[in-house]
A and B are shown apart, each in its own frame.
Chain A
Amino acid sequence: MCLGIPGKILDTHEDGSLRMGRIDYGGVVKEACLAYVPDAKPGDYVLVHADFALNVLSPDEAEETLKLFRELDQTT
């Protein structure tokens, strides 16, 4: 139940007082509430749980981690 899934915001719209967005999960598209990620914009990756985006994925941190892995590959 606590498993969030990363997805990419395609576009955003308002539903009453809630900011919503269409999220692409590698081909499957579903709506999610963006109330908790007020600065998220189309193209951003978000972690979604129970149709709520809980955070925006940081591309810098993701790149940093992947760089560490590439170095790891070379040292072993």
Chain B
Amino acid sequence: MKYLDEYRDPKTTAELLAQIRRTVTKPWTIMEICGGQTHSFLRHGLDAMLPAPIELVHGPGCPVCVTPLEQIDRAAAIAARPEVIFTSFGDMLRVPGSEQDLFAVRAKGGDVRVVYSPLDALAIAGANPDKQVVFFAIGFETTAPPNAMAVLQARERGLKNFSMLVSHVRVPPAIEAILSAPSNRVQAFLAAGHVCTVMGYWEYEPLAAKFRTPIVVTGFEPVDLLRGLLAAVRQLESGRPEVENAYARLVSREGNRPAQDAIGRAFLECDRAWRGIGVIPASGWKLRDALAEFDAEKRFDVGRIAPKESPLCIAGEVLQGVKKPPECPAFGKQCTPQCPLGAPMVSAEGACAAYFRYRT
């Protein structure tokens, strides 16, 4: 397809690799934030083709992975209620909770349905007026505009049987947390192109300046990824840390204003716990008070949740780029995609799943 094939061209990929090889003189550690990019690097074998001085580490940009365990347990408790139709993006169904995942809830008779868009959940609510339809609204800035529109539409349509379990996260506070950690090794970031499609990249400029760290807005195809890497390496080699846009066909500095407006009308910034990592200040969005009637946490009292994480899983270290999945003692043994102990082994964006799929 036009605007896709060109960015998968093997000849251009090889040329870009050669350029990176010629540019690099020192070892550099570069993190791609987005789990979709992690999978793309590994699927195309690009990480293995990079010159040895460049180490790629994988970031926390896997929404399924960072959704707090408490919220997974709450989802399972709500989904088990007889009056509820629980709707979610497919990946969430296999994320292990303390006791069970959403698939197990479904196996026991819970009405749990996979949707591709929150608009599907609205349609289900419209078609089932005698049921309570709950949508699991998770994700980064990319998923926030669809989810914001769903709740704004629910209000406009006066839907009384629709609510959302919200666990939204934002990238810039996560970058700040990674760079502030004493153990940090990351010297440059590839910022997630599709997040920036929505938000633009002005939010990254103070971060690049404060931490003197290059941040390159990067796309997802092989040519895009290498172009982003080349830009990051050039900046590192010349000691010129700034925000650079290597995905200009879809990203502008301001981002998408109508989408940002809708996010602002639906959500409010809040502190948010990231699974395995802990609370990061101002790193999430929650529903605004004016939309409290659509908040599933307020609508359903599920009692006290006491989350219990697997003692074997080192997802927190994996998500912060401190360790790689094969360094986890459970990787490929007690933990596989068929029987995951932690969320990064589940998701199409999880680093553990990527290594299992492309490296074992």
Q: Which A residues lie at the B interface, using CB under 8 A?
A: 1-4, 6, 8, 16-18, 25-26, 33, 35-38, 45, 47, 49-52, 54-55, 57-58, 61-62, 64-66, 69, 72-73, 76
| B46-63 interface code vs A (CB 8 A; 1 in, 0 out) | 000000000000000101
State how many residues of chain B have any CB contact under 8 Å with chain A.
55
B289 at interface by CB-CB < 8 Å? no
CB contacts (< 8 Å) of B194 on chain A: these are 2-4, 47, 49, 54
Could you tell me if A2 and B142 are in contact, using CB atoms closer than 8 angstroms?
A: yes
Q: Is A1's CB under 8 angstroms from B258's CB?
A: no
Given contacts A33-B149, A76-B19, contact A61 B139 (CB under 8 A): no
Name, among A36, A45, A69, the residue most crowded by chain B CB atoms within 10 Å (CB to CB).
Answer: A36
Bound-complex Cα distance A52 to B15 (A):
34
Q: Judging by beta carbons under 8 Å apart, are A1 and B250 in contact?
A: no
Q: Return chain A residues, CB-CB under 8 Å to B108.
A: none
- Whether B15 and A55, one on each chain, are in contact in the complex, defined by CB atoms closer than 8 angstroms, is no
Cβ of B153 within 8 Å of any chain A Cβ, yes or no, is: yes
Q: Across the interface, which residues of A come within 8 angstroms of B18, CB to CB? A: 76
A73 to B198, CA, bound (A): 32
> Which residues from chain A contact B35 at a C-beta distance below 8 Å?
2
B64 within 8 A of A: yes
Query: Which residues on the B side are within 8 Å of A57 (C-beta)?
Result: 3, 249-250
- Do A54 and B142 contact each other (CB < 8 Å), given the known contacts A2-B36, A4-B197? yes
B149 engages A65 (CB within 8 Å):
no
Interface residues of B in 1-46 (CB under 8 A from A): 1-4, 6, 9, 11-12, 15-16, 18-19, 34-36
Hey, which chain A residues are within 8 Å of B192, CB to CB? Answer: 2
List B contacts of A50 (CB < 8 A). 89, 116-118, 143, 146
A55 to B120, CA, bound (A): 21
B250 contact from A18, A51, A58, Cβ within 8 A: A58
Residues of chain A contacted by B249 (CB below 8 angstroms): 57-58, 61-62, 65
Closest Cβ of chain A to B50, distance in Å, is: 17
Which residues from chain B contact A65 at a C-beta distance below 8 Å? Answer: 227, 248-249
**B140 at the A/B interface (Cβ < 8 Å)?**
yes
Measured between beta carbons, the chain B residues less than 8 angstroms from A2 are 34-36, 61, 63, 139-140, 142-143, 192, 194-195, 349
Q: Which residues of B contact A4 (CB under 8 A)?
A: 142, 194, 197
B297 CB within 8 Å of chain A: no
- Inter-chain contacts of B100 with A (CB < 8 A): none
Is B3's CB under 8 angstroms from A36's CB?
A: no
Whether B4 and A6, one on each chain, are in contact in the complex, defined by CB atoms closer than 8 angstroms, is yes
The CA-CA distance from A25 to B3 in the complex, in Å, is 11
Closest to A3 in B: B36
Residues of A within 8 A of B195 (CB): 2
Residues 176-207 of chain B: 1 if any A CB is under 8 Å from the residue's CB, otherwise 0?
00000000000000001011011000000000
Bound Cα distance from A3 to B36, whole angstroms: 6
User: Is B256's beta carbon under 8 Å from chain A?
Assistant: yes
Contacts of B227 in A (CB 8 A): 65
